Amino acid sequence: MIGGGQLARMTHQAAVALGQSLRVLSGTAGEPAALVSPDVVLGSHTDLDALRRAAVGAHALTFDHEHVPTEHLDVLVAEGVNVQPPPQALVYAQDKLAMRRKLRELGAPVPEFAEVTWAEDVQKFGAEHGWPVVIKAVRGGYDGRGVWITGDPEEAERIVARELDRGVALMVEQKVEMRRELSAMVARSPFGQGATWPVVETVQRDGQCAVVLAPAPELSSAVAEEAEELALRIASVLGVVGAMAVELFETVDGDLVVNELAMRPHNSGHWTMDGARTSQFEQHLRAVLDYPLGDTSALVPLTVMANVLGAETAPEMSMDERVHHLFARMPDAKVHLYHKGERPHRKIGHVNLVGGAGSIDDPEYVAALRERAERAAHWLSHAEWTDGWDEHAGDGNGE
């Protein structure tokens, strides 16, 4: 796997159960996956020779991010490496403009968009489609970096001038009036088998995923089916192999619009580690290795995933002690830590809470589980309980 981040770390965890071992190409020995795999190649994902060293003898080569230059992947394929997803599919997760064009060609719902080669392009787009607009870096963005939303033509001009000057290729699109964000995750094997997990709601804060509700509450079965079919169709038409997230906006009118594609395990699928019959990490491996895919059904009516994000100032209490107190209070919290240094807003782990008996149509059931998941994640980030609970004064009975 190219990339030594948390996605590679968790994919390695799934590989172990399949009697496999994941070799990782990691920038440093201290990255999350390099710390757990016995087979680490140190090097950069932009260095063709490093990519070759990682690929030697491997059944397949896959990714924990989309930043490997397409031309390097084409070389590896020509040299006989089994690159999955193949570069001609992966490019639609790497290049937002190519993705928008392709999806429009397929008749998938996308916002109006245009390429930006000089400031005038954004002014023209705003005049035609209205303000505010969303300016995006065509390549290389993540967690909202490389996305600028503005209603001010002068600010737009400044952003475009600054970014073009830095050599960043840009596009512009309409700001979607949305009710919320959803994600439809799917996996596809080279054999052509496809499987979708239930559609989830992703809650974003500051352009970054904070919470996932799986499945998405208050989603009609017609819209859920539409999203799953769309994801399967995109995977099949593009020839995707592995896991893919189709990030969606649900508009205020209840329609779906595609935001972007990620061809790898994805934050919106972390809930599957504890809440689905097959996790996205195992499924990604099964797909890439061309095994039959696993059952994707949910185990319970609702699973909530909350990201553990680095606090502004890391708490004095050690993570070890925080985990200790969390387990004392919430024995059912499933903690996944990435062994990353705590820096503000950095994703350092996540917590899954797998719901008990109840119904996704019961707002109180949903709110209660969500509150507990967010409380657990906040505790791990900040060493503070959102409800003021005192862990030393606890009655010893948990919650």
Annotated binding site for ATP: 96, 136, 173-176, 181, 259-260
Smallest separation, CB 113 to ligand ADP (Å) = 8
> Coil, strand, or helix at residue 222?
helix
Nearer to ligand ADP, 144 or 315 (CB): 144
* 346 is a site residue for ligand ADP (CB under 6 A): no
Is the alpha carbon torsion for 257, 180, 203, 199 positive or negative? negative
Total chain residues near ligand ADP (CB under 6 A): 20
Q: Can you tell me which of 35, 42, 58, 147 binds ligand ADP, judged by CB under 6 A?
A: 147
> Coil, strand, or helix at residue 351?
strand
* 251 is a site residue for ligand ADP (CB under 6 A): no
> Coil, strand, or helix at residue 136?
strand
Is beta strand 147-150 parallel, antiparallel or unpaired with respect to 178-188? unpaired
Nearer to ligand ADP, 67 or 175 (CB): 175
* 173 is a site residue for ligand ADP (CB under 6 A): yes
* 111 is a site residue for ligand ADP (CB under 6 A): yes
* 142 is a site residue for ligand ADP (CB under 6 A): yes
Smallest separation, CB 137 to ligand ADP (Å) = 8
State how far the Cα of 110 lies from the Cα of 298, in Å rounded to an integer: 29
* 371 is a site residue for ligand ADP (CB under 6 A): no
Smallest separation, CB 145 to ligand ADP (Å) = 6
Q: Half-sphere exposure of 153 toward its Cβ, with a 13 Å CA cutoff?
A: 12
* 175 is a site residue for ligand ADP (CB under 6 A): yes
Residue type, 222: A
* 158 is a site residue for ligand ADP (CB under 6 A): no
Strands (E), the chain: 24-26, 40-42, 113-116, 133-137, 147-150, 170-174, 178-188, 194-196, 200-205, 208-214, 242-251, 256-262, 303-309, 334-337, 347-354
Nearer to ligand ADP, 175 or 346 (CB): 175
Nearer to ligand ADP, 119 or 134 (CB): 134
Q: Which range touches ligand ADP (CB under 6 A), out of 27-35, 86-94, 175-183, 383-391?
A: 175-183
Residue type, 341: G
Q: Report the DSSP beta bridge partners of residue 78.
A: none
Q: Report the DSSP beta bridge partners of residue 41.
A: 25
For 292, counting Cβ atoms within 10 Å of its Cβ (0-12 exposed, 13-18 middle, 19+ buried), the class is exposed
Q: Over the Cα atoms of the chain, what is R_g?
A: 21
* 259 is a site residue for ligand ADP (CB under 6 A): yes
Q: Can you tell me which of 146, 194, 242, 355 binds ligand ADP, judged by CB under 6 A?
A: 146
Bind-site residues: 96, 136, 173-176, 181, 259-260
* 134 is a site residue for ligand ADP (CB under 6 A): yes
For 270, counting Cβ atoms within 10 Å of its Cβ (0-12 exposed, 13-18 middle, 19+ buried), the class is buried
Smallest separation, CB 147 to ligand ADP (Å) = 4
State how far the Cα of 169 lies from the Cα of 160, in Å rounded to an integer: 10
> Are the C-beta atoms of 43 and 297 separated by less than 8 Å?
no
Binding mask 63-102 for ligand ADP (x = CB under 6 A): ----------------------------------------
* 132 is a site residue for ligand ADP (CB under 6 A): no
Q: Which residues bind ligand ADP (CB under 6 A)?
A: 111, 134, 136, 141-147, 173-176, 181, 204, 207, 247, 259-260
